C-alpha cells in the first residue's frame, strides 16, 4: 500500500527533547538541550502539511516523567479531536520505546501518534534529526497509518510501539522491530505500510496515572542468586520483573526468594535479557527454568523485553488486575 500525504493535512508536533533538539558546545563536543534547535528544525517540513508545534519539555530520555507523558496524551487526544490528522512526538532515543509502549496502552484514537528522535545532535555533521522529523510528519499525515496506534519512525523505518526496540547505542539505524519486522517504510512523503501487525490490546479510556507502582527490574546472570531480595521487605515493592537468562531462567538458589515474594502476593514477571526470541513456557523443566518459575506462580513476559514488561505490569497493577488477568495480558505478547 502506498500513499502520499494529502494536501493540507494537519499534524500537531509535541516536543519533549532528546538529542534531536540538542547541539554541541564545540565541533565534536558535548551535546545538551538547546531551545533554538527546535525552532531550526521546524524548517524540515513535508509539502502540504500544516504543522502546529507545542513544547511539552526539552529534556533527555532519562528525565522523562509520567507527568510529561500524561501531558503528551492529553494534548495529542485534544489535537486529534480538534481535527489534526496525526501527532508527532519528539523524544530522546534511550527510552523512546518505553514511552511509545506506555502511550500505546492509552492511545484510543484512529489517528497515528508517531514518536521520533535522532542519534546525532542537531549541530553534528550528518545529523539525522531533520530526516527523521520529516518522515515522522509524513507518517502522521498519511491515511495509510490510521489505525496502527502509536508508531516509532527512525531512519526511514516505521515500527509498532509494542515491537520497537533500540538495538544500538550509537548507530544511526538504532532501532528494530521484535519479533517481527518494521511495519512500514518512509522516505519523505512516500509512506508504505507493509503489514498491519498483530491486533492491539484494547486501549484504556482514562489518562496515565501520575505515578506508577514501584516495580524494580533485577537481571539474572552467572552465579547470581538474586540475594538482594533477602534485604527487601515484601511490602517494599508492588511487583518484580526479572531479566532472566536465555528463554527466561534464574539460578536454582534464586527460586526460594521468588517463591517468598509470590506467596506474599507480589507478582513476578520473568522476561529475557536477550534482545531477540522472547521467553518460553515449555522448553526446560530444571530448577530455575521457565517451567519451575511457572509452577511457582511467576508470569513469563513473552516477547516483551524487561523494560516494557515492567511498564505493562505497572499499568496492570494500577488497573487492579488479578494474577490471572496479569497472566492473560502477558500471554497476549507471547505469540
CA distance linking residue 261 with residue 268, whole number of Å:
8
C-beta separation of 284 from 291 below 8 A: yes
Q: Which among 91-99, 144-152, 297-305, 306-314 is the span making contact with ligand ASP, rule CB under 6 A?
A: 91-99
CA distance linking residue 161 with residue 142, whole number of Å:
17
Is the CB of 92 or the CB of 288 nearer to ligand ASP?
92
C-beta separation of 257 from 285 below 8 A: no
Here the cell at position 221 is: 546472570
Q: Which among 49-57, 90-98, 192-200, 289-297 is the span making contact with ligand ASP, rule CB under 6 A?
A: 90-98
Residue 224 Cα distances to 61, 193, 240, 243, 288, angstroms = 29, 44, 16, 12, 12
Instruction: Name the minimum Å distance from CB 194 to ligand ASP.
Output: 25
Is the CB of 38 or the CB of 119 nearer to ligand ASP?
119
Is the CB of 93 or the CB of 289 nearer to ligand ASP?
93
Residue in 93, 157, 163, 289 binding ligand ASP, rule: CB under 6 A: 93
Instruction: Give residues 1-30 in contact with ligand ASP (rule: CB under 6 A).
Output: 18-19
Is the CB of 58 or the CB of 279 nearer to ligand ASP?
58
Q: Which residue has the closest beta carbon to ligand ASP? A: 92
Is the CB of 92 or the CB of 239 nearer to ligand ASP?
92
Is the CB of 91 or the CB of 109 nearer to ligand ASP?
91
Bridge partners of 58, per DSSP, are none
Q: Which among 88-96, 268-276, 289-297, 315-323 is the span making contact with ligand ASP, rule CB under 6 A?
A: 88-96
User: Binding of ligand ASP at residue 94 (CB under 6 A)?
Assistant: yes
Residue in 10, 14, 46, 119 binding ligand ASP, rule: CB under 6 A: 119
User: Binding of ligand ASP at residue 149 (CB under 6 A)?
Assistant: no
Bridge partners of 176, per DSSP, are 165
CA distance linking residue 75 with residue 231, whole number of Å:
42
Instruction: Name the minimum Å distance from CB 311 to ligand ASP.
Output: 17
User: Binding of ligand ASP at residue 129 (CB under 6 A)?
Assistant: no
Pairing of strands 113-116, 22-24: unpaired
C-beta separation of 113 from 101 below 8 A: no
Residues in the interface with ligand ASP (CB under 6 A) total 9
Is the CB of 172 or the CB of 185 nearer to ligand ASP?
172
Give the active site residue among 90, 93, 95, 272: 93
User: Binding of ligand ASP at residue 92 (CB under 6 A)?
Assistant: yes
Instruction: Name the minimum Å distance from CB 123 to ligand ASP.
Output: 14
Here the cell at position 89 is: 512526538
C-beta separation of 161 from 99 below 8 A: no
Q: Which residues contact 117 (CB under 8 A, 6 or more apart)?
A: 18, 19, 20, 90, 91, 92, 93, 96, 129, 132, 154
93 included as an active-site residue? yes
Instruction: Give residues 40-79 in contact with ligand ASP (rule: CB under 6 A).
Output: 60-61
CA distance linking residue 215 with residue 267, whole number of Å:
10
First to last CA, the chain: 25
CA distance linking residue 139 with residue 293, whole number of Å:
42
Q: Which residues are part of the catalytic machinery?
A: 93
Binding site for ligand ASP (CB under 6 A): 18-19, 60-61, 92-94, 117, 119
Amino acid at each position: 500500500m502506498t500513499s502520499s500525504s494529502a494536501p493540507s493535512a494537519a499534524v500537531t508536533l509535541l516536543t519533549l527533547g532528546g538529542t534531536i533538539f540538542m547541539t554541541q558546545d564545540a565541533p565534536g563536543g558535548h551535546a545538551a538541550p538547546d531551545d533554538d534547535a527546535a525552532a531550526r528544525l521546524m524548517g524540515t517540513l513535508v509539502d502540504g502539511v500544516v504543522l502546529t508545534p507545542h513544547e511539552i519539555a526539552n529534556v533527555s530520555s532519562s528525565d522523562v516523567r509520567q507527568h510529561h507523558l500524561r501531558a503528551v496524551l492529553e494534548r495529542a487526544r485534544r489535537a486529534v479531536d480538534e481535527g489534526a490528522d496525526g501527532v508527532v512526538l519528539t523524544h530522546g532515543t534511550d527510552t523512546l520505546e518505553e514511552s511509545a509502549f506506555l502511550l500505546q496502552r492509552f492511545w484510543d484514537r484512529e489517528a497515528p501518534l508517531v514518536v521520533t528522535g535522532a542519534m546525532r545532535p542537531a549541530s553534528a555533521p550528518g545529523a539525522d534529526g531533520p530526516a527523521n522529523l520529516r518522515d515522522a510528519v509524513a507518517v502522521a499525515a498519511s491515511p495509510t497509518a490510521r489505525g496502527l496506534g502509536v508508531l516509532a519512525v527512525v531512519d526511514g523505518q516505521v515500527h509498532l510501539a509494542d515491537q520497537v526496540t533500540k538495538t544500538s547505542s550509537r548507530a544511526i539505524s538504532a532501532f528494530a522491530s521484535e519479533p517481527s519486522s518494521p511495519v512500514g517504510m518512509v522516505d519523505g512523503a512516500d509512506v508504505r505500510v507493509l503489514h498491519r501487525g498483530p491486533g492491539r490490546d484494547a486501549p484504556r479510556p482514562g489518562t496515565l496515572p501520575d505515578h506508577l507502582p514501584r516495580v524494580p527490574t533485577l537481571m539474572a546472570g552467572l552465579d547470581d542468586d538474586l540475594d538482594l531480595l533477602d534485604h527487601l521487605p515484601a511490602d517494599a515493592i508492588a511487583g518484580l520483573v526479572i531479566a532472566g537468562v536465555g528463554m527466561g531462567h534464574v539460578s536454582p538458589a534464586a527460586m526460594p526468594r521468588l517463591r517468598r515474594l509470590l506467596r506474599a502476593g507480589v507478582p513476578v514477571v520473568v522476561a529475557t535479557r536477550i534482545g531477540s526470541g522472547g521467553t518460553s513456557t515449555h522448553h526446560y523443566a530444571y530448577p530455575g527454568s521457565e517451567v519451575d518459575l511457572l509452577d511457582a506462580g511467576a508470569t513469563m513476559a513473552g516477547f516483551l523485553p524487561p523494560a516494557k514488561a515492567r511498564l505493562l505490569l505497572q499499568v496492570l497493577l494500577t488497573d487492579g488486575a488479578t494474577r490471572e488477568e496479569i497472566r492473560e495480558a502477558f500471554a497476549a505478547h507471547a505469540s
